[in-house]
Amino acid sequence: MYKLSVLDKVSFILVIIGAINWGLYGLFNFDLVHILFEANFQIASRIVYILIGIAGVDMLIFLLKTRK
C-alpha cells in the first residue's frame, strides 16, 4: 500500500479547492479564488491557480504510482 506524503495530502486539498472553484464558476459564474484574493492581490490568485495546477499533475502521478 502506498503511504501518502505531505505533498500528496496538500495536493489532495488543493485539487478539491480547485474542483469546488470550477463547480462554482460553472454553475454561478462565481470565481472563489478571485473573490478571496480580490483584484489587489492579482499575483496571489495567479500563484494559487499555479499551485492547483501543479497539485493536479501530482495527483496524476499519484494515480500512476498507485496503479498496480
pTM of the model: 0.79
Angle of the 42-66 helix axis to the 6-28 helix axis, nearest 10: 120
Q: What is the pLDDT of residue 15?
A: 94
Instruction: Determine contact, residues 14/55, Cβ cutoff 8 Å.
Output: yes
Taking residues 6-30, what's their average pLDDT? 92
Comparison of pLDDT for 20 and 68, the residue scoring more? 20
| Residues 24-60: tens digit of each pLDDT | 999 999 988 888 777 667 788 888 889 999 999 999 9
Report how far residue 46's alpha carbon sits from residue 54's, in angstroms, rounded to the nearest whole number.
Answer: 12
Report how far residue 27's alpha carbon sits from residue 32's, in angstroms, rounded to the nearest whole number.
Answer: 12
Asked if residue 7 has pLDDT above 70, the reply is yes
